[in-house]
Amino acid sequence: MTRPAARGGRASADRLARLLNLVPYLLARPGIEIAEAAHDLGVTEKQLREDLELLWVCGLPGYGPGDLIDMAFDGDRVTITYDAGIDRPLRLTPDEALALVVALRMLAETPGVANREAVERALAKIESAAGDLAGAPVEVRLPGDTARVRELRAAVERGRALRITYYTAARDETTERTIDPLRMLMVGGRAYVEAWCRRAEAVRLFRADRIDAVTELVEPAVVPPQARPHDLSDGVFRPSPDLPLITLRIGRGERWITEYYPCERVEADGEQWVVSLRVTDLGWARRFVLGLGPDVTVVAPTELAEQVRAQAAAALDAYATPADRADPAVAAVTQ
């Protein structure tokens, strides 16, 4: 069994945006050729036909005859014959309006939102139209929305350089750095500061929960012109051929690895799976494997297997008492 790594939800989000745009587009152009519509919408004809097939099962609650969007085809031309009320002005119930207010407040508090002013304007309009909701006692807290995250966001918005104490998990070390922030981001439920690191002389991502201390400097943040933000559309970690490749044999209880990490190869070997994945370095891989438990075996590289074996033996030796070492029976069990 070989399968590609799971992709994120970006494709689904893009398709939803297309579908929301597709109905009003077709309503304004009855009988349009599919080829012309695909060209205008920036998709292939195959993708557009798949979107149209999906529209057929979209509509109002009830999802029976008369509830779903309907359309007619005449050769390569398409016409929307029933729009399921999508052309009518939106009327929100109090519960729907409150849910939208909460969602917009959460979006406004999310680090990395490109146009927070636009979100706040939309929120003000909805609260104004909703009447009593304007003063609704709703407080939004995002996962990981700590005082440290709010402190970092405020410093980034003020455009100041920062001195931070940062723990790097991949190398299991804590360092002092001076950074020039570019932006705050929320990726996978975690807050990050993306910044020019003066020590590394490159753009780096710093997880907010790994910043042990932060000092806002008087000097403004100065980002060199060559600094470019990371493309995080596929997540923070981007495997590449130059990174170490490790291969593990895992039991049933560790199959979650294939869903959580991008794997290059997953093959069934009886009740076990053999998986290969890229890692930032072998030090991180050693700690990762040691934390997985007894149902994991390192297949490759040999260097990683030796490191895991040596650290496991050292851990067992640390738990042994002097009496244990002197007892031949105990010594035989631990060998």
Q: Name the strands in the sheet holding 211-220, side by side, starting at the edge strand that comes first in the sequence.
A: 202-207, 190-197, 173-187, 160-168, 211-220
Q: Is 138 contained in some domain?
A: no
- Give tens-digit pLDDT for 298-329: 999 999 999 889 988 888 888 876 655 555 55
Last residue of a domain, one of 46, 62, 82: 82
Same domain, 227 and 165: yes
Between CA 311 and CA 282 the distance in angstroms is 13
Same domain, 230 and 249: no
Measured CA to CA in angstroms, residue 169 lies from 21, 163, 172, 211, 234 at distances of 43, 19, 5, 11, 21
Decide if 47 contacts 14 (C-beta within 8 A): no
In this prediction, residue 102 carries a pLDDT of: 72
Whether the bond into 143 is cis, omega within 30 of 0: no
Whether the bond into 301 is cis, omega within 30 of 0: yes
Q: Is 3 contained in some domain?
A: no
Q: Which two tokens stand for residue 77?
A: 């031309």
At a CB cut-off of 8 Å and minimum separation 6, what does 101 contact? Answer: 123, 126, 127, 130, 133, 136, 138
pLDDT class of 9 with cuts at 50, 70, 90: very low
In this prediction, residue 65 carries a pLDDT of: 65
Q: Is 294 contained in some domain?
A: yes
Q: Is a pLDDT exceeding 50 seen at residue 6?
A: no
Encoded amino acid at 185, one letter: L
Q: Return the residue matching tokens 């970006």.
A: 10
Q: For residue 59, what is the DSSP state?
A: B
Same domain, 230 and 251: no
Decide if 117 contacts 103 (C-beta within 8 A): no
Q: Is 139 contained in some domain?
A: no
Query: b vs e for 85-100, b when ≥16 Cβ sit within 10 Å of the residue's Cβ?
Result: ebeeeeeeeeeebbeb
Same domain, 20 and 77: yes
Minimum mean pLDDT range among 131-140, 157-166, 213-222: 131-140
Q: Is 313 contained in some domain?
A: yes
Mean per-residue pLDDT, 206-230: 88
Mean per-residue pLDDT, 94-113: 68
Same domain, 165 and 221: yes
Between CA 73 and CA 153 the distance in angstroms is 52
CATH at 304: 3.30.70
Please tell me the total count of domains within the chain. 4
Same domain, 212 and 273: no
Q: Is 272 contained in some domain?
A: yes
Name which residue leads in pLDDT, 273 or 331. 273
The reported pTM is: 0.45
Between CA 134 and CA 222 the distance in angstroms is 40
Name which residue leads in pLDDT, 131 or 35. 35
Same domain, 228 and 165: yes
CATH at 57: 1.10.10.10
At a CB cut-off of 8 Å and minimum separation 6, what does 25 contact? Answer: 37, 40, 41
Q: Is a pLDDT exceeding 60 seen at residue 236?
A: yes
Q: Is a pLDDT exceeding 50 seen at residue 268?
A: yes
Q: Is 48 contained in some domain?
A: yes
Q: Is 169 contained in some domain?
A: yes
pLDDT class of 8 with cuts at 50, 70, 90: very low
Q: Which two tokens stand for residue 315?
A: 């851990």
Domain range enclosing 119: 94-133
Q: Which two tokens stand for residue 290?
A: 């040691």
Same domain, 68 and 103: no
β pairing state of 70-74 and 190-197: unpaired
Minimum mean pLDDT range among 31-45, 176-190, 290-304: 176-190
Decide if 23 contacts 69 (C-beta within 8 A): yes
Q: Which two tokens stand for residue 108?
A: 């406004």
